[in-house]
């Protein structure tokens, strides 16, 4: 096996990305402190043609040198918008018939491996603060809560790792 060079990866241009059919997933980042986490989520969203990212609360926005370090240009391809209040974003998306799912550990959550997305639906996934998680008010407005099954002693994943796992899982189930 030979490692592929960058020119062999069939990368699409920024323009082709903007025109491509998107995966019906919207990512909501609420009060994310780490600029590297934000950049990493942008890169994951680029990889799976995610429709849009909402950056809410204290979540930093591009252009930002620290976000760029991990995003590697994905802030130029993935559509994003800043909104101060995550609850207003949730209400707006619900009015557009988007199904809202918090990614959190709660009573009666749906384990990710058991979640089956509907082919005719668009989904918004809320990822919360690195320490406090998704705020309870956002959970209350969600259509459901998806939990990543974990077996170890920590039951805690980095937000960018959680986003990668959940986005990949939904992407492959939708395709």
pLDDT (tens digit per residue) in 66-117: 999 999 999 999 999 999 999 999 999 999 999 999 999 999 999 999 999 9
Domain residue spans in the chain? 19-148+156-174
Structure tokens at 109: 């959550």
pTM above the 0.95 mark? Answer: yes
Distance from C-alpha of 24 to C-alpha of 170, rounded to nearest angstrom: 10
The SS3 of residue 81 is strand
List per-residue pLDDT tens for the chain, 175 residues long: 999 999 999 999 999 999 999 999 999 999 999 999 999 999 999 999 999 999 999 999 999 999 999 999 999 999 999 999 999 999 999 999 999 999 999 999 999 999 999 989 999 999 999 999 999 999 999 999 999 999 999 999 999 999 999 999 999 999 9
Q: What is the DSSP string of 96-157?
A: TT-EEEEES--TTPEEGGG----TT--EEEEE-BTTTBS-HHHHHHSSEEEE----SS----
CATH class of 19-148+156-174: alpha beta
Structure tokens at 32: 């994310």
Q: What is the pLDDT of residue 138?
A: 98
């Amino acid at each position: 096996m030979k490692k592929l060079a960058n020119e062999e990866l069939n990368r699409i241009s920024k323009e082709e990305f903007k025109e491509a059919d998107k995966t019906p997933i919207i990512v909501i980042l609420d009060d994310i402190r780490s600029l590297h986490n934000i950049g990493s989520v942008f890169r994951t969203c680029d990889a799976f043609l995610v429709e849009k990212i909402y950056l809410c609360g204290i979540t930093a926005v591009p252009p930002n040198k620290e976000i760029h370090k991990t995003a590697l240009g994905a802030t130029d391809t993935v559509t994003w918008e800043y909104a101060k209040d995550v609850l207003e974003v949730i209400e707006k998306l619900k009015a557009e018939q988007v199904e809202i799912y918090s990614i959190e550990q709660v009573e009666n959550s749906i384990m990710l491996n058991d979640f089956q997305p509907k082919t005719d639906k668009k989904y918004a996934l809320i990822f919360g603060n690195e320490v406090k998680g998704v705020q309870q008010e956002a959970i209350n407005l969600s259509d459901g809560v998806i939990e990543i099954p974990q077996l170890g002693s920590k039951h805690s994943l980095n937000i960018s790792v959680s986003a990668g796992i959940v986005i990949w899982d939904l992407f492959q189930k939708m395709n």
